[in-house]
Structure 1
Amino acid sequence: MHKNGFVTRTMILAAICIAMSFLPLSACAQSTGWQCAARDVLDRYQELAEANGVVLLGDLAFIADGPRGLVILDVSEPTDIRFVSEVDTPGDAKRVVIADAVALVADTIGGLQVIDVSEPASPAIVGAVTTPGTAVDLVEIDGLVYIADIVGLTIVDVSNPADPAVVGTLTTPGDAIHLGVSDSVVYVVDGALGLQVVDASEPANPRLISTLEINSTLGIAVNGERGYLTHSYAFLTVLDLTNPAQPQIVETFDLPFRPSTDLTLSEDRLFMDGLRAVYDLTDPDNPTYLGAGLAPGRQVATLGSLALVVLDNTLVSVAIHDIRPSGVLGRLSAQGVVEGLAIQDAYAYSAEYEYGMHVIDVSDSATPIRITSIDTGGFTHDIVIQDDYLYVMDDASGLRVIDVSNPTIPAIVNEPNTLQGQRIAVAGNTAAVLSTVVRFVDISEPTSPLVLAAHTVGGGGSRYHNEVRLAAGYAYVSTTSRLYIFDLAHPAAEPLAILDGSRSAIAVDPIRGIACLATDDGIVVIDISEPTNPLQIGQIEIEPGNQPVSIEIVGRRAIASLERYGNAWLIDLEDPSNPELVTSANGWFNTSLGAWDIEVSDNTAYFGTPVDGLVILDISDCPCPADFNHDNTADSRDVIAFLNAWAAQRGTDCSGGCSADFTGDGLVDSRDFIAFLNAWNAGC
């Protein structure tokens, strides 16, 4: 018995080893969480100039890198992208395609640049041709290159790369910025003047055969008899191109953001603005939103489970085994500018400037519902909650205290007062009210707030410029230039410390003894374990010239929402002295001013944005399916535990659930075995 058991176990382990040698890499178990999806980002190569276009061919990425020209990178190890070579071009490289061993570059004022890349380590320009306008996009088919050059369409014969020749041109009425080609028909995106359809069956004599008058067109992708057209007004239009002389609109869909010109087709998927949004085209007339990766950008190139995305100075490599939802759970438009948020139980409380305080039911994150509102007397700014009381800053009637023991019937319980300010923080019996002066207030009796002390701190004197946090008995006041630390046990005393260099937004983790402060283009990490002697221990640049307007610390990570473009970044604080960017949520919030307040409850983040109102984001991390025995480690013990369960449950009725039903299909069979080994091989 012992010998047979040994042989059986040995055979099983041998089978596992053999099976694992053929297993593909696998991502974590699916989750909609932002932190989970962040693990799909494999590497960021941030030494480009102005990454505009990308082509992935084998182990090489070819980048149209603006003023730098063509850059070639080695992506054979997607987790370690490496430089190979570059060649300067006379203009700004906007797009690149590869035909045989030749790179064709749309080079703005440089027209079309033809580059020999047969030796990737030493690319060389072998031909060029000027275009009537500024070359910004191109498609190559059978030795002909179709170029959008603002003034119209230019067709170039590149059958002899050393001697490219213009064979035909057509001026369009608008600005030709993008194009698609199918069966000698060219679809030119012509900006404000819609879509121009050109018959190029005679390349020397391209002729306009129809115009689809759609305002503010941006980009197009053509897939046989269907076209997908984006608009600057956040629409995606599906076109029937069966008869190019009479293109028909099939359907128009709203988009959750304003797209750019960048659309990429890959098999039955449509990638928009890098991985900002991904659609399934199995039904070509009804694109199904699959989700979003964590790398919005100008263009994407895919090969199998790898995607490369270019944006600004960066090439991002992303694993796309599964396209997950971006993490956005729900949205609710605001009546006014959301300047502050508070979350308690199943309710969100929103300070909406001239429209007062609003109560929102967020029990179903996908469909938040506005329940009621209350006028606070003037313009409502910041808002916090403690127990069943809201503390609201109003520029006319001061600190208003609202009883929300019944959230559907909020009631103001104090009189108007002179405690005007833009920011507020509450801890225990103390509130800190902040404008250019910080006032510490006794709120032990919420109906009668009593000022304890006041200190001038300066700053911009607005909701947007100063911020205050209370934690572990101390007040942290951040202005446009300084951080002040006060001892709440002695509110009238001078600050314990003053540190120069802050930029308003601040988050505090008293357990770890650190604070994150905004700078002009990132954050600094401050050691506050000794409040009398705060020390800067770490710093990270997020985006040059793009200042964080709100920061929130969640476990070992921070969320920073930036001022411009509605971008938000997840930052790893595992080592506070060396904070690292994890990933961004660029484009998920259609706002030019960032999120002015971020509140976190469990695995959900609530963003208060000036334009989009309330945005609810899942920030959960990945579950680890390989950790079968739930001991927070994926090791051989999980393999043994799974095999025991699999052997016991194989062939049984799993309609009520079986632990070994790894695929969740109600059966325990070989597919579960392979699925578990895939997950175990990937690890946690």
Structure 2
Amino acid sequence: MAVDGNVVYVTAFTSGLFSVDVTNPTSPIQVDSYDTPNDALDIAVVGTFAFVADGATGLLVFDVSDPASLQLIGQVNTPGISTGLVIQGDRVYIADGDGGLQIADISNPAQPALLGSIDTQSDAKDVAITGDIAFVAAAFFGLECFDVSDPVSPKLVGSIALPGVAQGVAVVGSNVYFADGSAGLYIIDVSDPSLPQIVGSLSTLHGSTDVVVDGSIACVADSSAGVQIVDVSNPALPVLAGTFSTSHIAFRLAKRNSTVFVADGFSGLQIGDIESCMAECYPDCDKDNNLSIFDYICFGNAYANLDPYADCDQSGSFNVFDYICFGNAYATGCP
């Protein structure tokens, strides 16, 4: 997903690309769509151009100068399955599945051209970049760091294995934020890209697939558990600060100020306000703005139904420690 002004561009898998007017976030309006040849999986917007990772098709380029009239103007086939991309200058870096990392010249958006590539240790799922270093989420391996100062001949400079199935990656400063599937969120120090080091992690409920970071807040797409809002002011100790439930499967994210936009599977685009989610009082289970015995009853029902809400300690399992966690939260009270 990508936000450009008051327009959100949603890559909707087999349904293609959608442009949505979010001038009023409580009432989004679809303004156009384009049925791409394959599976639209990721997008980046620069100026009046949108660059789409379209699965087996590769890279598509759209003129989005008029969001109500999306125009395909260029494409380049890649050898793998394009699932993620990032743009820096006149180059696009593509996570291309078993095609590894692909680099293309987009100085002429109507005629993108592949420049160079390098294999990854597992399918490349997503990519982020800072300076001359590209960070790739390699599915069943973990994080790989590539020197792309020569785009024709990128070189592996460092890597670190992680326990989950890598899905999404973001970089802010010297830290990489890693959506690692069932293993949750990992924060990795890449101040020395040749020696990446894990500095913190946080378990999520149902498999993290994407992450966006703004300041001290990381938003994690967590499949059927919706969006997890994480305080990363101390990267060594990330703390769950709130949740935003969605109707289906949270897969991709974009953020503008305190608003988070979620590509949510069959339910389409979901929009939430981070500040209101963080302001919620967790132990007020029945949301009546009053802590009482009915909140314990509500929690017990959630626990019996294996509702993600009842995994209070965020361990990924339901046990007596969730009751202890809820009791502690209840005793602490609400702001």
TM-score normalised by L of structure 1: 0.41
Structure 1 CA distance for aligned equivalents of residues 199 and 220 of structure 2: 19
Q: Which residue of 1 aligns with 2:232?
A: 281
Structure 2 CA distance for aligned equivalents of residues 263 and 63 of structure 1: 16
**Larger RCO (alpha carbons 8 Å, 6+ apart):** 1
Q: Give yes or no for contact 1:169–1:205 (8 Å, CA) kept in 2.
A: yes
In the TM superposition, what are the counterparts of 1:467-546 in structure 2 within 5 Å?
none
Give the letter for the 1:163 counterpart.
Q
Q: Is 1:240 paired with 2:205?
A: no
Q: Which residue of 2 aligns with 1:249?
A: 198
Q: Which residue of 2 aligns with 1:72?
A: 19
Q: 1:197 aligns with which of 145, 149, 156?
A: 145
Q: Which residue of 2 aligns with 1:297?
A: 250
How much has 1:165 moved relative to structure 2? Answer: 0.6
Q: Which residue of 2 aligns with 1:85?
A: 32
How much has 1:588 moved relative to structure 2? Answer: 4.0
For 1:284-343, what per-residue CA distance to the aligned partner results, in whole angstroms no more than 9, with x for missing partners? 44323211123371122222232221211321122233432776549xxxxxxxxxxxxx
Q: 1:269 aligns with which of 217, 222, 235?
A: 217
For 1:28-87, what per-residue CA distance to the aligned partner results, in whole angstroms no more than 9, with x for missing partners? xxxxxxxxxxxxxxxxxxxxxxxxxx2122111111011121111111122221120111
Q: Give yes or no for contact 2:184–2:208 (8 Å, CA) kept in 1.
A: no
For 1:470-493, what per-residue CA distance to the aligned partner results, in whole angstroms no more than 9, with x for missing partners? xxxxxxxxxxxxxxxxxxxxxxxx
Structure 1 CA distance for aligned equivalents of residues 138 and 10 of structure 2: 25
Q: Which residue of 2 aligns with 1:223?
A: 172
How much has 1:215 moved relative to structure 2? Answer: 3.0
Q: Which residue of 1 aligns with 2:114?
A: 166
For 1:130-183, what per-residue CA distance to the aligned partner results, in whole angstroms no more than 9, with x for missing partners? 111000011111121111111110011111110001111111121111222111
* SS in structure 1 of the partner of residue 277 of structure 2: coil
Q: Which residue of 1 aligns with 2:95?
A: 148
Structure 1 pair 233/92, CA: closer, same or farther in 2 (3 Å)?
closer
Q: Which residue of 1 aligns with 2:64?
A: 117
RMSD value, Cα: 3.2
Q: Give yes or no for contact 1:265–1:271 (8 Å, CA) kept in 2.
A: yes
* SS in structure 2 of the partner of residue 128 of structure 1: strand
Q: Which residue of 2 aligns with 1:186?
A: 134
Give the letter for the 2:257 counterpart.
G
Structure 1 pair 173/300, CA: closer, same or farther in 2 (3 Å)?
closer
- More moved, 162-171 vs 311-320: 311-320
How much has 1:203 moved relative to structure 2? Answer: 0.7
Give the letter for the 2:265 counterpart.
D
Q: Give yes or no for contact 2:212–2:255 (8 Å, CA) kept in 1.
A: no
Structure 2 CA distance for aligned equivalents of residues 177 and 185 of structure 1: 17
Give the letter for the 2:86 counterpart.
V
Give the letter for the 2:239 counterpart.
T
Q: Give yes or no for contact 2:219–2:229 (8 Å, CA) kept in 1.
A: yes
Structure 1 CA distance for aligned equivalents of residues 184 and 261 of structure 2: 25
In the TM superposition, what are the counterparts of 1:399-414 in structure 2 within 5 Å?
none
Q: 1:612 aligns with which of 296, 318, 329?
A: 318
Structure 2 CA distance for aligned equivalents of residues 228 and 306 of structure 1: 20
Identity %: 28
* SS in structure 1 of the partner of residue 15 of structure 2: coil
* SS in structure 2 of the partner of residue 202 of structure 1: coil
Query: Aligned residues, how many?
Result: 305
Structure 1 CA distance for aligned equivalents of residues 202 and 259 of structure 2: 28
Looking at CA atoms only, which structure, 1 or 2, has the larger radius of gyration? Answer: 1
Q: Give yes or no for contact 1:269–1:281 (8 Å, CA) kept in 2.
A: yes
Q: Give yes or no for contact 1:55–1:63 (8 Å, CA) kept in 2.
A: yes
Structure 2 CA distance for aligned equivalents of residues 195 and 104 of structure 1: 24
Q: Is 1:130 paired with 2:77?
A: yes
Q: Which residue of 1 aligns with 2:289?
A: none
In the TM superposition, what are the counterparts of 1:543-582 in structure 2 within 5 Å?
none
- More moved, 253-262 vs 86-95: 253-262
Structure 2 segments unaligned to the other structure (5+ residues): 285-291, 327-334
For 1:518-574, what per-residue CA distance to the aligned partner results, in whole angstroms no more than 9, with x for missing partners? xxxxxxxxxxxxxxxxxxxxxxxxxxxxxxxxxx8xxxxxx9x98xxx6x6xxxxxx
Structure 1 CA distance for aligned equivalents of residues 64 and 87 of structure 2: 16
Structure 1 CA distance for aligned equivalents of residues 280 and 210 of structure 2: 18
Structure 2 CA distance for aligned equivalents of residues 207 and 80 of structure 1: 46
Structure 1 pair 588/110, CA: closer, same or farther in 2 (3 Å)?
farther
* SS in structure 2 of the partner of residue 323 of structure 1: helix
How much has 1:256 moved relative to structure 2? Answer: 4.0
Q: Is 1:308 paired with 2:261?
A: yes
Q: 2:48 aligns with which of 75, 78, 101?
A: 101
Give the letter for the 2:110 counterpart.
A
Structure 2 CA distance for aligned equivalents of residues 87 and 233 of structure 1: 32
TM-score normalised by L of structure 2: 0.81
Give the letter for the 1:70 counterpart.
L
* SS in structure 1 of the partner of residue 140 of structure 2: helix
Structure 1 pair 248/137, CA: closer, same or farther in 2 (3 Å)?
same
Q: Give yes or no for contact 1:294–1:326 (8 Å, CA) kept in 2.
A: no
Q: Which residue of 2 aligns with 1:321?
A: 275
Structure 1 CA distance for aligned equivalents of residues 39 and 62 of structure 2: 15
* SS in structure 2 of the partner of residue 324 of structure 1: helix
Q: Give yes or no for contact 2:12–2:263 (8 Å, CA) kept in 1.
A: no
Q: Give yes or no for contact 1:217–1:229 (8 Å, CA) kept in 2.
A: no
Structure 1 pair 231/327, CA: closer, same or farther in 2 (3 Å)?
farther
Q: Which residue of 1 aligns with 2:330?
A: none
Structure 2 CA distance for aligned equivalents of residues 235 and 87 of structure 1: 33
Give the letter for the 2:129 counterpart.
V
Structure 1 CA distance for aligned equivalents of residues 74 and 95 of structure 2: 19
How much has 1:209 moved relative to structure 2? Answer: 1.2
Q: Give yes or no for contact 2:217–2:232 (8 Å, CA) kept in 1.
A: yes
* SS in structure 2 of the partner of residue 150 of structure 1: coil
